[in-house]
Structures are given as C-alpha cells and as structure tokens.
Amino acid sequence: MKVLMVNGSSNEKGCTYTALTEIGRTLVKEGIEYEIFYIGGGAVRDCIGCRQCAKKGSCVFTDDVPLQAFLEKARGADGFVFGTPVYYAHPSGRLFSFLDRAFYSEGRHGYGAFAFKPAAAVASARRGGTTASLDGINKYFGIAQMPVVSSTYWNMVHGQTPEEVCQDAEGLQTMRNVGRNMAWMIKCFAAGKEKGILLPETEKVFSTNFIR
Ligand SMILES: Cc1cc2nc3c(=O)[nH]c(=O)nc-3n(C[C@H](O)[C@H](O)[C@H](O)COP(=O)(O)O)c2cc1C
C-alpha cells in the first residue's frame, strides 16, 4: 500500500515538504509506504485545452514536468496528498498547472489513476490564505470521485522556513492525523475489496454544457 504525495513548491525541501514528511512518517508507522514527488522548480506549462490527450492518451507537453512519470506512479498508488505553499491566498501556479494537466488527461480515462482513492490537500503559509488554497485543491477530488481525507483541523501548517513549521505543534499534529486517517481509509478499502465489495459502477457521464 502506497501514498503518492506531490510537493507543489519550487523549494524541494521547504515548508510544504516538511508538512508532507510529517504525514509520511505517520504513514510508515501505520505500515504504509509513501513517496514525495517533486515537480521541480522550472517553468511548468499550463493546460492549453488542445484535447490531444483524448486522442494520444497523454498530454502533448513532455519537456517541462515529469507528468507521465507521475501518472504511471499514480496508477499504482492507493492514496494521494497534494501539498502547496500559499501564494497570494491560492495554491502555487505550478501545482495548479500540473494538476490541471494531470487530471484533464486522466479525465479522458474516467480519472482511472485517481478515482475511488483517498486524497488530502495540504497548504503551508506564513500567515493567511490557507483555506482558500485548500478549497482550490479539493476541487480536483470532487470531480474525480476521490474520498477526501480530513483531520482535526484544516490541513495546514504555518511558517516561512522548515524550522518555523517544526514549531507549529498544532499544524504538525494535524498532519499526523491526516496520515492516520489516510492509512485507516486505505486499509478499510482494501478490507472491503477482500470481502468482495466492488467499486461502484459509474454511469456514462453526460456532457451537456447546459444545452438541453
Ligand atoms: C509569491 C509568494 C506569495 C506568497 N503569498 C502568501 C500568502 O498569501 N499568505 C501567506 O501566509 N504566505 C504567503 N507566502 C509565503 C509562503 O506561503 C510560505 O512561506 C510557505 O510556507 C512556503 O512554503 P515552501 O517552503 O514549501 O515553498 C507567499 C510566498 C511567495 C513566494
């Protein structure tokens, strides 16, 4: 059993990473592996809506972020955590662009890599804008049939440096509880599968654009 996390910060070992690591340590204690996927600090193309992913099966852009490598790992993962620093009260542009392309291209396959797998959003901020940022990330879960993992507070840490995050006792506790709750959900789903509880059938999606 494995949880795939995305660090949406250009700081590879910064505050977001520190929060994700706290979740990871808890997962390991619960017998679940984890990996923190770094999407890099370089330019990330936004989705251009070319819809070539529907024909090709994958995003046309292959030279900026390791999107395909991520999606291959995502297919084998049992749960997800998407972490972001807060930028002007929203998630980082790089995380949004990455997730837009990941979910749009995977949406063409019924969100196969993501559907029915528990997911959590995590935000790291110096001070404000966390809940708006979490809201932005949670939107991906809602459209891809992903059960949302909650905690004892909204999933945030505060700090401008990893050292400051390490002083945020409640934030780190919130991360540990995300880890425990994620592990519990993954184990429950595995136990259900063993008992023959199948994934729900999804109806063919109507795409009406409000034209009746
Ligand atoms: C462009 C930019 C905008 C930011 N906007 C906010 C903000 O709106 N609210 C806030 O509390 N912190 C803000 N910050 C601070 C970061 O969110 C905070 O330091 C975060 O913990 C950094 O995480 P990282 O080390 O993983 O990159 C901003 C930082 C940058 C670079």
- Distance from the alpha carbon of residue 87 to the mean position of ligand 1, in angstroms: 5
Count of Cβ atoms closer than 10 Å to residue 123 Cβ: 31
Judge if the beta carbon of residue 14 lies within 6 A of ligand 1. Answer: yes
85 lines ligand 1 (CB under 6 A): yes
* pLDDT tens readout for residues 55-104: 888 899 999 999 999 999 999 999 999 999 999 999 999 999 999 999 99
Confidence at 212, pLDDT banded by 50, 70, 90: low
* Residue 25, CA distances (Å) to 105, 111, 180, 188, 196 in order: 31, 28, 10, 20, 31
pLDDT for the residue numbered 124? 98
Cα 83 to Cα 122: distance, rounded to the nearest angstrom = 4
Query: Does 91 sit in the ligand 1 pocket, CB within 6 Å?
Result: no
Of the chain, the percentage scoring pLDDT greater than 70 comes to 100
Mutational pocket test of ligand 1: of 7, 81, 87, 154, the residue with most ligand atoms within 8 Å of the beta carbon: 87
Domain boundaries, the chain: 2-194
What spacing in Å lies between the alpha carbon of 159 and ligand 1's midpoint?
8
Contact 150, 180 (CB under 8 A): no
Model confidence at 29: pLDDT above 80: yes
pLDDT in tens, 166-206: 999 999 999 999 999 999 999 999 999 999 999 999 998 88
Span 6-26, pLDDT tens digits: 999 999 999 999 999 999 999
Percent of the chain past pLDDT 90, that is, above it, reads: 92
User: pTM (2 decimals)?
Assistant: 0.97
Q: Which helix (H) or strand (E) holds 82?
A: strand 79-87
Two tokens, residue 69 = 């490598």
Tell me the CA–centroid distance for residue 156 and ligand 1, in Å: 12
Class of domain 2-194: alpha beta
Residue bearing the CA closest to ligand 1, atom 7: 88
Q: Which residues pair with 2 in a beta bridge?
A: 33
Point out the ligand 1 atom lying closest to the alpha carbon of residue 88. Answer: 8
Pairing of strands 90-91, 79-87: antiparallel
- Token pair 């936004």 is found at 46
| pLDDT band (50, 70, 90) for residue 211 | confident
Tokens 């996927």 sit on residue:
37
91 alpha carbon – ligand 1 mean position (Å): 9
Give the pLDDT score at 110: 83
The answer to whether 190 and 44 are in contact (CB under 8 A) is no
Mutate-to-test residue for ligand 1 from 12, 86, 88, highest number of ligand atoms within 8 A of CB: 86
Letter for the amino acid at 73?
Answer: K
CA distance 155 to 158: 11
How far, in Å, from the CA of 3 to the mean position of ligand 1? Answer: 25
Q: Is 16 in the pocket of ligand 1 (CB under 6 A)?
A: yes
Q: Is 159 in the pocket of ligand 1 (CB under 6 A)?
A: yes
CB 134 within 8 A of CB 123: yes
Q: What share of the chain is helix, strand, coil (3-state, %, to 5)?
A: 45, 15, 40
